[in-house]
Amino acid sequence: MRAVAMTRPVPRSLTECELTHVQRVPIDMTVARAQHAEYERTLAALGCEIVHVPAADELPDSVFVEDTAIVVDEIAIITRPGAASRRPETGEVATTLGSFRQLRFLSEPATLDGGDVLRLGRVLYVGLGTRTNDAGVQQLADFISPYSYDVRAVPVDDCLHLKSAVTELAPGIVVINPQWVNGQMFRDHAIIEVDPSEPAAANVLRIGETVVAAAAHPRTNARLSSVVHVRTVDVSELAKAEGAVTCCSLIVNV
């Protein structure tokens, strides 16, 4: 495969990040940066070319670049993140992403985080929760429908983003936390459930035939290993900022 992984450095202000479902605890910035570097090395080892969006030390959540854009083969859509503090993140992302795709831009009153958008084949499932609203789903559908994608809204109440609850393991197979999303929405897929003791384990990043998964979820990762090759990364410090493995990159097939 040939893919670009766009990433953005861990900002100095990370400790002031948005938090919704986790308690604020101290973050070791040295470890956070080392974990992010290891994450980048893992993506590079899986064949991705790493392209950096310039650092934004004044934007605490800017490392979580996934939320700022939706990338498909035909176009990229720059989001309007649900948290107002995150909206200034999109400018530099658009500048970098504009080298690879024609851009579209969501506009007020739409809000949408990339973490809420799960593409499975020609269907984009979009989580409707604290970050993404109806107008966000509608504007996304307006931009993407001409390219033969179907957009389906999915209620998300108990976790931050849709992709906190479900991601793709391989074509036709998803990993899901059934406590956080209604598995009926994905009944045309084979479903692997997270181990109940690891609720956040459904967020994995598929790169070709491999999935990158957080090392904090060994029981679920063992289940995943029965169907797909799993590479684990330790993202414990980024998890304290409510980040997971998908959110630290934007994958652009080139």
CB-count burial class (<10 Å; 0-12, 13-18, 19+) for 197: exposed
DSSP 174-222: EEE-TTTS-GGGGTTSEEEEPPTT-GGGG--EEETTEEEEETT-HHHHH
Please identify, using beta-carbon distances, which residue of 136 and 243 lies nearer to ligand CIR.
243
For residue 212, give both structure tokens.
């990158």
The residue (of 83 and 185) whose beta carbon lies closer to ligand CIR is: 83
Distance of alpha carbon 112 from alpha carbon 69, whole angstroms: 9
Task: State the minimum distance, in angstroms, from the CB of residue 95 to ligand CIR.
Answer: 20
Q: Which residues are catalytic?
A: 161, 247
Pairing of β 102-105 and β 117-120: unpaired
Q: Which residue is nearest to ligand CIR (CB)?
A: 115
Number of Cα atoms under 13 Å in the Cβ half of residue 34: 8
* Of 204 and 227, CB closest to ligand CIR: 204
Nearer to ligand CIR, 168 or 242 (CB): 242
Question: To the nearest whole angstrom, how small is the minimum distance from the Cβ of residue 253 to ligand CIR?
Answer: 19
Smallest separation, CB 155 to ligand CIR (Å)? 18
Tell me which residues touch ligand CIR (CB under 6 A).
17-18, 20, 61, 64, 66-67, 83, 86, 115, 161, 241-244, 246-247
